Amino acid sequence: MRTPAPTLFRLDINNQKELQNKTKLTMLEGDILDEQCLNTACQGVSVVIHTACVIDVTGVIHRDTIIDVNLRGTQLLLQACVQASVPIFIYTSSLEVAGPNSYKEIIRNGHEAEHHESAWSAPYPYSKKLAEKSVLAANGYTLKNGGTLYTCALRPMYIYGEGSKFLARMINNSLKNKGILISNGKFSIVNPVYVGNVAWAHILATRALRDPKKAPSIRGQFYYISDDTPHQSYDNLNYTLSQKWGLCLDPRPSLPLPLQYWLSFLLEVVSFLLTPIYKYRPPFNRHLVTLSNSVFTFSYKKAQQDLGYEPLFSWEEAKQRTMEWIGSLVEQHRETLKTKTQ
């Protein structure tokens, strides 16, 4: 007898109808800070995969908004799972909960047994760190029906691939800059991860937490999720993915990293002093300079061992898919220019 396919629900603040054309998906529109909405969404659900968050590293979004969504929203969703007796909760955390705390610190092929924790007070890493702690601490909670809540967290590296807002913004800014890629991560060495492999890791985590043999070693744990994308700088990744479409690296020399760091500190001081009379947002800050220019790579061996994780997409496949998507952005830009000149 064939097992019926599970019903998939997606709760989002925006109803993205285009997703319904790709898979059988029930869309629920709501706010993660709306307790009644969360309680309704969790009814009859067997697994919650919590990916919602606000990402901001430049100070565009108010600190309270980021912490409300990322931390309080996570805590409210955990409470809703307890009330609705949802037994499995998988949290999409972030590499930023581990750092980097200094561009001088070098971490190569880090792993879960090492203690790495962000010391930044910036709202994004701070809120994600506390939210992950809440999720892992909730492992073992008693559900309303007498069952038990089991949780785990996944810490993906920098995620690239189709639909990436960061990549899209970088490409569009470069197209407006005569095809020159804006350099902001020249000194980094990182191991980015393809979006399809991150999604696959979530599926495997769900399966593993439902497997009586695998689950005991996974409950309450976190996992770094990377793949076989070559270790490289952010600038080199951007160039590799976009060079086919004529984009190129900025040939001008970059400011030395220590100078970038202290310049960002001075800009933060100026921003603070102007606060009573004017809202000044610096173009970059110490956290962003550190994040973009550190040697910070992690292994996926623990996920391989516990979850059975192997990248679903090779580097060549991931690169090709992402390049084709970037090509569509370049074409959109060209069409926009044609429309303006007509």
pLDDT tens across 138-174, in order?
A: 999 999 999 999 999 999 999 999 999 999 999 999 9
Break the chain down into helix, strand, coil percent, rounded to 5. Answer: 45, 15, 40
Question: How many other β-carbons are positioned within 10 Å of the β-carbon of residue 265?
Answer: 14
Give, for 151, the enclosing helix (H) or strand (E).
strand 150-156
* Nearest Cα to Cα of residue 32 among 84, 81, 69: 69
Contact (Cβ atoms closer than 8 angstroms) between residue 12 and residue 31: no
Contact (Cβ atoms closer than 8 angstroms) between residue 112 and residue 71: no
Q: What's phi and psi for 28, nearest 5 deg?
A: -120, 125
Whole-model pTM: value is 0.92
pLDDT interval class at 14 (50, 70, 90): low
- Torsion, CA 95, CA 97, CA 100, CA 106, rounded to 10: -70
pLDDT at position 107 is 97
Mind listing the pLDDT tens digit for each residue in 208-250?
999 999 999 999 999 999 999 999 999 999 999 999 999 999 9
124 counts as catalytic:
yes
Mean pLDDT of the chain: 92
Q: What would the mean pLDDT of 95-110 be, rounded to a whole number?
A: 97
Buried b (16+ CB within 10 A) or exposed e, 118-134: bebebbbbbbbbbbbbb
Domains and CATH numbers, the chain: 31-341 (3.40.50.720)
Instruction: Categorise residue 246: left if φ over 0, alpha if ψ from -120 to 50, beta otherwise.
Output: left
C-beta pairs of 259-264 under 8 Å, 24+ apart in sequence: 260/284, 260/289, 260/293, 261/103, 261/286, 261/289, 261/290, 264/288, 264/289
Question: Active site residue: 91, 124, 150, 224, which one?
Answer: 124
pLDDT interval class at 28 (50, 70, 90): confident
Sheet holding 295-298, edge to edge: 106-110, 295-298, 189-190
- 342 by Cβ neighbours in 10 Å (0-12 / 13-18 / 19+) ranks as exposed
Strand, helix or coil at 45? coil
The CA radius of gyration of the chain, in Å to the nearest whole number, is 21
